[in-house]
């Protein structure tokens, strides 16, 4: 069945638009600004972190280990518990990874094994 002249023009216009769109970059999406109110923030230091999860959430327990090098049993008082969904946890992982990469580029590699960081003085 033959197409009418207006139908042919409409199809040609759609094809031209598709070809033009393929060669052009799409305009970047405007990003929303997130304002952070930290006026009531309570800052805590943690040298202990325990990670656990459920199918719906990831749980970070943060606390202060008063004697991190103790060879005996130690009780750590957990002072903060952060509960987030796994999507937020993955974004947090990415943000922390980027921050640590920048730190290591500026200051050198962070060795997490304390036994490798300890400098031993040879006996004389």
The domain in which residue 56 lies consists of 43-107
Domain count, the chain: 1
pLDDT at 48: 93
15 falls within a domain: no
CA distances from 45 to 4, 7, 64, 76 (A): 75, 69, 7, 13
Check if the beta carbon of residue 55 is closer than 8 Å to that of residue 63: no
Please list the ranges in the chain whose pLDDT falls under 50.
1, 19
pLDDT of residue 4: 53
pLDDT score at 15? 52
- pLDDT value, residue 12: 56
Domain membership flag for residue 60? yes
With 0.85 as the threshold, say if the pTM is over it. no
Q: How far apart are CA 7 and CA 4, in angstroms?
A: 5
Whether 91 is covered by a domain: the verdict is yes
How far apart CA 13 and CA 5 sit, in angstroms, is 12
Asked if residue 124 belongs to a domain, the reply is no
pLDDT of residue 113: 83
d(CA 2, CA 114): 80
């Amino acid at each position: 069945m033959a197409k009418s002249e207006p139908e042919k023009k409409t199809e040609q216009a759609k094809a031209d638009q598709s070809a033009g769109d393929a060669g052009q970059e799409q305009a970047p999406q405007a990003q929303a600004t997130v304002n952070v109110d930290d006026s009531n923030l309570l800052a805590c230091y943690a040298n202990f972190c325990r990670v656990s999860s459920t199918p719906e959430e990831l749980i970070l327990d943060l606390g202060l280990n008063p004697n991190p090098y103790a060879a005996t049993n130690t009780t750590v008082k957990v002072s903060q518990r952060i509960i987030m969904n796994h999507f937020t946890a993955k974004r947090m992982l990415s943000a922390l990874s980027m921050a640590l990469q920048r730190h290591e580029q500026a200051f050198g590699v962070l060795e997490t094994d304390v036994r490798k960081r300890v400098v031993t003085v040879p006996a004389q």
